[in-house]
Amino acid sequence: MDPYRILVLLSFFLRLHEGWATAVQGGQFAKGSIEVGGLELREHTTFTKIWTAAPLNSGDSSATFFSPSSLPSGFFPLGSHAQSHTPNPSPTRALIARDTANSLASPTDFTVLFSSNFSSPSPVFFWLPIPPPGYTAAGHVITTSPQKPPLSSLRCLPNHLLEPCHSDAPTWSPKSDLPFTVHLSYSLGTFVAGGEPPLHCLKKNDIALAAMPNLTQIRALIQTFSPIFNFHPKELYLPSSVPWFFNNGALLYTNSSSNGPVRIDPPGTNLPQGGTNDGAYWLDLPTDPASQNTIKAGNLSFAEAYIHIKPTLDGTATDIVFWLFYPFNGPARARAGFIEISLGRIGEHVGDWEHVTQRFSNFDGEMTQMYFSQHSSGEWVNAAELEYAAVGERRPAAYATLHGHAFYSKAGLVLKGEAEKIGIKDETAEEGAVMDAAAGCLVVSAEHLGLEEPAWLQYMREWGPKVSYDVDKELGKMMRFLPGKMKRGLRTLVGRLPKEMLGEEGPTGPKGKASWNGEES
């Protein structure tokens, strides 16, 4: 019997007998704690609420502050925790640490960073722990009393385990004219407060790779948690594998006039490798209309989910990214009230790469969140809010929108970029074609495992040509039928569309997207 199958059966057995026991476990992955430089780190989710910042004026931001509580013996917090007030602040996770080789130190003192009454019933004190030399307080402390917190209330980490990092948005900034903001360290779950407080994260190379799942475990995670993709019942443009696209006549063009387009071999070895997207090469459909129609439709029996594994949250979590390739992206449609508006060919393009990402904690091997890419952005959804086919089933649904292939966690209609009540229709529905991500998938990249990547993944140029239609002309066709206000709305709406949808740029492959190396936007 195939070892992956044994793991899956084993995990199913464990689940039946121990409730929601960890599905995949072994070695340093999902053993409950991560060991690093003489420390044992754990993920802690029990908190006491300390203080809620009521907004001073309507529109001001607010936040709730928490302190880790009921710690297992020998463990210490690294600071307090905070959550923005949107819409329901609940604490997520903070790391706690136990010393295994004299690596932790208590602070030597505390000083008040900031204190205030705001409009809250109780005053509040933000404390800066003073670390001994060679150590850093990776989190600050909040109390509602003017007494200094006990020195034993947290531990400082040795400098060599940390590196500076940044957060895109403050968790709390009470007032725009106040030089005081609160930022959360996403990997540690502790906050720092002040003018421009330096934020620390765990140094990537220390733990990043030790607690990551190996290939056996990755396959078991895929078998247990991977999504079921649902396409719209009216979808004309389904995914295919990349070799299917090449086999069915996709062509490689170059801007050098002496070379005509060439066929691409199935693994993509004759595509230019590496480099940047400089406009010198692009892909396009075969030239005869019958082949074009065949290739545009894709073919689900050949479709594959291409999987990229990457460490995240400083190696305390693993992102499993599922990329789908569609030979063709259909035209966008808009909606104003009950009126459907065709946008002509706007939105159409050859070569469409879309993805969802599942995030797993390397502490317990559980899926915590899933990201759904939607045009040039997307959204994270907590695992508990995902749609599962049946009770006890752990494989979530992902719905792809008709023609545009944006992903959503639930079926329904979303109007994107609404202007004057006109929005682009992102429409998903049940009862269309379905693709089981686990049934046809290929792990194409996992830096920590040094896997060899397929040649087509190294192709950094465009997977489709620039637009072959005139956006203004396409718009003009629709405008004739609309009242003035809606015309303005439609123009604004189209102005907001991502460049790729407007066809001003051909789409790049997975490695050309910012999320390949960075966080999801």
Contact segment (CB under 6 A) with ligand NAG among 215-223, 268-276, 388-396, 478-486 equals: 215-223
CB of 214 to ligand NAG, least distance (A): 4
115 interacts with ligand NAG by CB under 6 A: yes
Integer Cα distance of 15 and 22 in angstroms: 8
As measured in angstroms, the least distance from the Cβ of 290 to ligand NAG is 13
Q: Cβ of residue 26: shortest distance to ligand NAG, in angstroms?
A: 3
Which residue minimizes CB distance to ligand NAG? 26
Binds ligand NAG by CB under 6 A, chosen from 54, 280, 434, 514: 280
With contact defined as beta carbons under 8 Å apart, do 367 and 409 qualify? no
> Judged by CB under 6 A, which stretch of 8-16, 64-72, 262-270, 276-284 contacts ligand NAG?
276-284
Residues near ligand NAG (CB under 6 A), total: 18
User: Considering beta carbons, is residue 217 or 361 the nearer one to ligand NAG?
Assistant: 217
Q: Which of 26, 266, 286, 417 binds ligand NAG (CB under 6 A)?
A: 26
Rounded CA-CA distance 358/372 in Å is 9
Nearer to ligand NAG, 216 or 458 (CB): 216
Residue 249 interacts with ligand NAG (CB under 6 A): yes or no: no
Opening angle at CA 331, ends 337 and 428, nearest 5? 60
Among 62, 167, 214, 342, indicate the residue that binds ligand NAG (CB under 6 A).
Answer: 214
Residue 427-466 contact track with ligand NAG, rule CB under 6 A, x = bound? ----------------------------------------
Which position among 18, 168, 196, 278 is part of the footprint of ligand NAG (CB under 6 A)?
278
Considering only residues 293 through 332, tell me which ones interact with ligand NAG, judged by CB under 6 A.
297, 299, 301
Q: Closest CB to ligand NAG among 159 and 270? A: 270
278 Cβ contact list (under 8 Å, min separation 6): 461
Sign of CA dihedral 83, 84, 85, 87: negative
Under rule CB under 6 A, residue 259 binds ligand NAG: no
d(CA 76, CA 137): 13
| Element at 181 (helix H, strand E) | strand 181-184
- Of 109-117, 310-318, 399-407, 415-423, the window that binds ligand NAG (rule: CB under 6 A) is 109-117
- Give dist(CA 245, CA 350) in Å, integer: 11
| Helix, strand, coil fractions of the chain, as percent rounded to 5 | 20, 35, 45
Which of 134, 195, 267, 279 contacts ligand NAG by CB under 6 A?
Answer: 279
Q: Pick from 181, 217, 292, 374: which binds ligand NAG (CB under 6 A)?
A: 217
Residue type at 397 in one-letter notation: A
For the chain, what's the residue count?
A: 521
The residues near 354 (Cβ < 8 Å, ≥ 6 apart) are: 323, 324, 326, 373, 400, 405, 406, 407
Tell me how far, at minimum, the Cβ of 132 lies from ligand NAG, in Å: 29
Of the two residues 2 and 393, which places its CB atom closer to ligand NAG in the complex? 2
Over the window 117 to 136, marking each residue x when it contacts ligand NAG by CB under 6 A and - when it does not, the resulting string is x-----x-------------
Shortest reach from residue 179's CB to ligand NAG, in Å? 18
Q: Cβ of residue 260: shortest distance to ligand NAG, in angstroms?
A: 14
Let me know the angle formed at the C-alpha of 261 by 260 and 267, rounded to the nearest 5 degrees.
Answer: 145
> DSSP letters along 17-30, please?
HSSS--SS-BTTBT
β-pairing, 228-230 vs 434-436, is antiparallel
Q: Smaller CB distance to ligand NAG: residue 92 or 214?
A: 214
Residue type at position 283? L
Task: Phi first, then psi: give them for residue 476, nearest 5 degrees.
Answer: -55, -40
Of 9 and 280, which has the nearer Cβ to ligand NAG?
Answer: 280
Q: Is 130 or 451 the residue whose CB approaches ligand NAG more closely?
A: 451
Nearest approach, Cβ of residue 295 and ligand NAG (Å): 10
d(C-alpha 31, C-alpha 276), whole Å: 41
Query: Who's near 194: CB < 8 A, 6+ residues apart?
Result: 113, 114, 128, 140, 180, 181
For residue 339, give both structure tokens. Answer: 């009126």
Residues that bind ligand NAG (CB under 6 A): 26-27, 115-117, 123, 214-217, 255-256, 278-280, 297, 299, 301
